[in-house]
Amino acid sequence: MKEIIRIATRNSPLALRQANIVKDILRESVKCELIPMTSSGDNASSREFKKLGGKGLFLKELEESLLSGDTDIAVHSLKDVPFILNNKFEITTISTREVPTDVFISNKYSSIHDLPKNSTIATSSPRRIAVLKNISRDFEIVEIRGNIQTRLKKLEEENFDGMILAAAGLHRMSIQKQITEYLSIKQSVPSAGQGILCVEYLKNNLNIKRMLKKYKNHDVDRCAIEERDFIGMIGGDCMSPIGAHATIQKEKISLTGFVASKDGNDFIKTTCESSVTKGIGIGKNLGSIFNKQGAKKLLNK
């Protein structure tokens, strides 16, 4: 193995923070160097992002650096990683999971349920839009992209009534004081992999694979697999109103799935539970149940 592991990362403040978390974890084994870069996802317009379904736009340049040998591993937020990877790559989870829920942020209201029906709320996620529209069809949704700091600045400058973000990013940036309200899993089922960091590497790089193996959190990895398998069964991507969240407690695995029409009028939400050993494949099983209930039709509605 090379003496210094080169870590490919996007150059946004949150991505750099996440890469440094991985760097700190690996420090006991190897020296690491961050290689920041701009991804297609950072430069894409909202129209381009939607047209491509967001598929792999945050990975493209990082993966190219792995293929060229300029870097050894890449760090991603797992929720940004498509279910179907190029077969030259593998991913593994690393470290514990950060708070996985969505959060409501507002300078005017103390709860999302205090919002007037015609409130203006900023979010770019179709899943979150569907959740909001289910609360009130009269909400005016303003699509917003950019890093956390940019979004929080726009919340104030544009005088929005509220904004929905992932808790994980705010926690990792140590600005959780900005959070007005944590939304429960029952209120808003998160994206698959939300709050989980993953490391991507070349499949044939066995040295890297061996090194990373000892840092895997097996419960987190199992939850990640089941959540992603659920998404894979339904055929969703990061631009689909679809969520999945798994937990493991006392030898039980629980998985909540969510699929909605884009207008939020119709949705399927179900939780199933099994023993950890007997529940292998719970993501695929729940996805199959959702498909029988019309999940794919909902996504195309």
Active-site residue set: 80
Residues 288, 289, 292: CA angle, nearest 5 degrees:
90
Of 88, 68, 85, 80, the residue nearest 10 (C-alpha): 80
Helix-strand-coil split of the chain, %, nearest 5: 35, 25, 40
Indicate the length of the chain as a whole number.
301
**Hey, what are 82's tokens?**
């498509």
Q: Which residues of 101-122 are buried (b: 16+ CB within 10 A; e: fewer)?
A: bbbbbbeebeebeebeeebbbb
- The answer to whether 67 touches 180, Cβ cutoff 8 Å, is no
Coil, helix or strand for 89?
A: strand
Enclosing H/E stretch for 35: strand 31-37
Q: Which residues of 210-238 are buried (b: 16+ CB within 10 A; e: fewer)?
A: ebbeebeeebbbbbbbbbbbbbbbbebbb
**Hey, what are 211's tokens?**
């090194």
